[in-house]
Amino acid sequence: MKLTPWLWTLPLLALAAGCQTATQRARSGATVTVEEVSKSDLWKVVATASDEDRIGRLGLAWQQALSEAEPRFRREIAAEGDLLKPLARLPRPQPTPGSYNCRMISIGKADRRSPAFEKFRPFFCYVQVDEEGLLTIVKQTGSQRPAGRLWDDNDANRMIFLGSLALGDAQEPLAYGDDPKRDMAGVFERIAPFRWRLVIPGPQSGEKIQVFELTPVADQPK
C-alpha cells in the first residue's frame, strides 16, 4: 500500500523548525526568542486542539467508559485482562514492524439505545517503518480502515497515534486533518510481551473509548 506523503514530511518540517537556535537577531537588532520543538512534542504540532484535549483527558474517558459498562458486562471486561485495565502498560511501547492480528472493543454508550460494551470481528493490520524509523499502523481489511502515524511522547511508556479513517473501497485514507470527521487520535501502549493496544478516546462513532488489540501474526510474510 502506498503511504501518504504527509506522514513523512510533517515531522521533517517540524524538526527543521525545532533545530533553530534559541535566539535569533532580527534586522532591527532586537532579539527574537524561538521555542525549540523536541522530538517528543512533535505530535502536538500536528494534532488539533480538540484531539490534544481528548488525549489529555484519557484517564477520565476510561473511567466513564468502564462505569457505564461494568454493571452489565463485568465478566466480559474481566475476561479481557490487562487489555481493559487503564494503567496496564509496560516500557518500550514501540511495536515491531510486520503483520498483526487485530480486534476492537468499544466501551461506553454512543447513545441511549447502544450497548455499553461490544466486541467486533478480528481483522488484520500492519505496522510499517520507513528508512528514518517512523512507524505507521494500517488496518488492511474491512469497510472502515484506520491508518496513521505513531509519534514519540514525553511519556516514554506510550506513543501517540494520529490518523484517519478510509471508508468503503477508497484506496488510501485521507491525511490527518483533511476531514475532521474522519480524524482519529489516541494512545498506543504495550501491555504484555508481544501484545499492544491502541486506545481511542471519544471516537467519532460516539462511544467513550475504542480499544484495539494487536498481537503479531505467527507466520510473518517475508
Q: Which residue, chain included where needed, has cell 461506553?
A: 108
Domain that holds residue 21: 9-39
Specify the pLDDT at position 143.
Answer: 55
Domain identity same for 35 and 114:
no
- Judged by phi (left if over 0) then psi (alpha if -120 to 50, else beta), residue 140 lies in alpha
Domain identity same for 86 and 15:
no
**Beta carbons of 172 and 190 less than 8 angstroms apart:** no
In a domain, 101, yes or no: yes
Cell numbers for 54: 481528548
Domain identity same for 119 and 207:
yes
Specify the pLDDT at position 168.
Answer: 57
Specify the pLDDT at position 117.
Answer: 96
Specify the pLDDT at position 167.
Answer: 65
In a domain, 83, yes or no: yes
Which pLDDT tens digits describe the chain residue by residue (222 residues)? 434 443 433 343 333 333 333 333 333 344 444 356 678 889 999 999 999 999 999 999 999 999 999 999 999 999 999 999 999 999 999 999 999 999 999 999 888 888 999 999 999 999 999 888 889 998 876 556 778 999 999 999 999 999 987 765 655 667 888 888 889 999 999 999 999 999 999 887 778 999 999 999 987 766
Question: Cβ–Cβ contacts within 10 Å for residue 206, how many?
Answer: 12
In a domain, 14, yes or no: yes
In a domain, 184, yes or no: yes
**Structural Rg of the chain based on CA atoms:** 19
What is the pTM for the complete model shown? 0.80
- 3-class SS of residue 30: coil
Specify the pLDDT at position 17.
Answer: 38
In a domain, 183, yes or no: yes
In a domain, 99, yes or no: yes
In a domain, 222, yes or no: no
Domain identity same for 107 and 141:
yes
CA 42 to chain CA centroid, nearest Å: 14
Domain identity same for 31 and 105:
no
Domain identity same for 96 and 184:
yes
**Beta carbons of 165 and 182 less than 8 angstroms apart:** yes
Domain identity same for 34 and 46:
no
Distant-in-sequence, close-in-space partners of 131: CB < 8 Å, separation ≥ 6: none
Domain identity same for 80 and 135:
yes
Task: Give how many domains the chain has, as a whole number.
Answer: 2
Best CA proximity match to 220, nearest among 104, 95, 132 = 95
Domain identity same for 165 and 191:
yes
Domain identity same for 105 and 151:
yes
In this structure, the chain runs to a length of 222
Specify the pLDDT at position 142.
Answer: 59
Helices (H), 47-189: 49-56, 58-79
- 3-class SS of residue 163: strand
Domain identity same for 34 and 63:
no
Torsion angles phi and psi, residue 190, rounded to 5? -95, 130
Residue type, 131: E
Specify the pLDDT at position 50.
Answer: 93
In a domain, 192, yes or no: yes
- The angle formed by the CA atoms of residues 145, 221 and 171, to the nearest 5 degrees, is 30
